[in-house]
């Protein structure tokens, strides 16, 4: 039986992570006739399930298309998380991918001729043996904690589930990037009294989604949203939050102020879980714990173990790896394993300038 350690299910390639790049990797391998298995700890596209309803991508549809299958929608502008999940489901069914969902991988152990993999689904431990392993686990395993008093109180959240919860309430939002700005605007529009704390002296309007940049600027200039620039939270209580002033965007300078609030939303980013990499022997670099790899092949220091997608950056602070900048990872891994490049990747050829894998063809 497949769940007996001495007789594991065998496959040529095990892909760990059922996000966009993991799905794209599975499709190109299936097209090439390579035996593979796609393993996802929760549901495909799980990160997008955490988005509040009707949240749109920053990227336009061609940048998030996979395996040459276009993303069409009625507006022809950026799509929502719900629309993208429907697209991912379509790809899985269209190609009938060999998928295991709700199977968290708990161990990847290098062996003489490949890897031994253990998962822990609800039905009990499962075991697999693969010649190659591709880690496409993403970079949003959990929230980036501030580790301040009161962060675990029931009225404090690191996830924005939607604005209705905050109707007729005082809400302090901490952060200054797209997720914070979107939460500010949506909550203000449903009738919340919104305040915004940001560690920098002003928002970086060039890095905010264009349709929100002018909007948030208007709200702040008109005083409709209270803005606390150059501040960081240092304590949260059931009735208020204490903000400390900072001159460098990180370290408090000793000056504090108390702001009364009913709810606190901490949009402070997310961290990657790199324990599986470390346990497998992958060398991790810096505070981000980015896996060491060969940029030409995406192979890590562990022979036969590759990394793809946003996981390449570990816990990113200045984002470099997105869906749109990771298609070339799929091409490089495909070439390293099979000696061939995929015939279709990213969006359709007519809009191929949206992806970054053409350079791989020349090598």
How many other CB atoms are found less than 10 A from the CB of residue 266?
A: 24
Q: Do 63 and 323 touch, CB atoms closer than 8 A? A: yes
Beta bridge partners of 56: 80
How many other CB atoms are found less than 10 A from the CB of residue 269?
A: 18
Whole-angstrom distance, CA of residue 49 vs CA of residue 352:
28
3-state SS assignment for residue 92: helix
Beta bridge partners of 117: 108, 128
pTM of structure: 0.89
Distance of CA 235 to the CA centre of its chain: 28
Helices (H) and strands (E) in the chain, counts: 9, 19
- Of 216, 226, 156, 164, the closest CA to residue 194 belongs to 226
CATH code of the domain occupying 145-266? 3.50.50.60
Domain definitions of the chain by residue range: 9-142+270-361, 145-266
> What backbone torsions phi and psi does residue 124 show, to the nearest 5 degrees?
120, 165
DSSP character string of 169-213: SEEEEE--SHHHHHHHHHHHHTT-EEEEEESSSS--GGGS-HHHH
Same fold, 9-142+270-361 and 145-266: yes
- Of 78, 72, 115, the closest CA to residue 90 belongs to 72
CA 340, 343, 346, 352 torsion-angle sign: positive
Query: pLDDT tens track of the chain, all 363 residues?
Result: 344 466 899 999 999 999 999 999 999 999 999 999 999 999 999 998 888 888 888 788 888 999 999 999 888 788 888 999 999 999 999 999 999 999 999 999 999 889 999 999 999 999 999 999 999 998 888 889 999 999 999 999 999 989 999 999 999 999 999 999 999 999 999 999 999 999 999 999 988 888 899 999 999 999 999 999 999 999 999 999 999 999 887 788 889 999 999 999 999 988 889 999 999 999 999 988 999 999 999 999 999 999 999 999 888 777 787 888 889 999 999 999 999 999 888 877 766 554 555 555 544
CATH code of the domain occupying 9-142+270-361? 3.50.50.60
3-state SS assignment for residue 161: coil
- Of 316, 321, 314, 271, the closest CA to residue 291 belongs to 314
Helix (H) or strand (E) holding 119: strand 114-119
Contacts of 147 (CB under 8 A, 6+ apart): none
DSSP character string of 231-242: EEEEEE-SSEEE
């Amino acid at each position: 039986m497949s769940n007996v350690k001495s007789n594991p299910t065998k496959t040529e390639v095990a892909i760990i992570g059922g996000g966009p790049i993991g799905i794209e990797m599975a499709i190109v391998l299936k097209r090439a006739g390579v035996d593979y298995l796609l393993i996802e700890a929760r549901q495909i596209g799980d990160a997008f399930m955490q988005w509040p309803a009707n949240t749109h991508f920053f990227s336009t549809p061609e940048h998030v298309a996979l395996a040459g299958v276009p993303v069409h929608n009625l507006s022809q502008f950026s799509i929502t998380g719900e629309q993208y999940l429907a697209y991912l489901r379509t790809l899985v069914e269209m190609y009938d991918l060999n998928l295991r969902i709700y199977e968290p991988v708990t161990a990847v152990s290098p062996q003489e001729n490949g890897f031994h993999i253990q998962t822990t689904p609800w039905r009990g431990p499962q075991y697999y043996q693969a010649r190659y392993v591709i880690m496409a686990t993403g970079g949003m395993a959990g929230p980036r904690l501030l580790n301040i008093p009161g962060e675990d109180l029931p009225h404090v959240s690191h996830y924005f589930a939607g604005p209705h919860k905050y109707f007729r309430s005082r809400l302090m939002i901490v952060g200054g990037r797209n997720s914070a700005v979107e939460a500010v605007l949506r909550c203000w529009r449903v009738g919340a009294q919104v305040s915004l704390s940001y560690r920098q002296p002003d928002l970086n309007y060039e890095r905010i989604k264009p349709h929100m940049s002018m909007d948030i600027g208007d709200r702040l200039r008109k005083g409709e949203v209270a803005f606390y620039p150059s501040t960081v939270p240092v304590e949260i209580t059931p009735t208020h939050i204490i903000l400390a002033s900072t001159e460098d965007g990180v370290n408090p300078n000793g000056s504090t102020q108390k702001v009364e609030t009913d709810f606190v939303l901490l949009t402070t980013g997310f961290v990657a879980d790199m324990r599986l990499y470390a346990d497998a022997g992958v060398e991790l670099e810096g505070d981000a714990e980015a896996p060491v790899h060969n940029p030409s092949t995406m192979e890590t220091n562990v022979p036969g173990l590759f990394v793809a997608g946003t996981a390449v950056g570990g816990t990113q602070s200045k984002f470099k790896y997105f869906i749109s900048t990771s298609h070339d990872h799929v091409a490089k891994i495909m070439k390293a394993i099979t000696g061939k490049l995929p015939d279709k990747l990213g969006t359709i050829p007519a809009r191929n300038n949206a992806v970054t894998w053409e350079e791989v063809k020349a090598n």
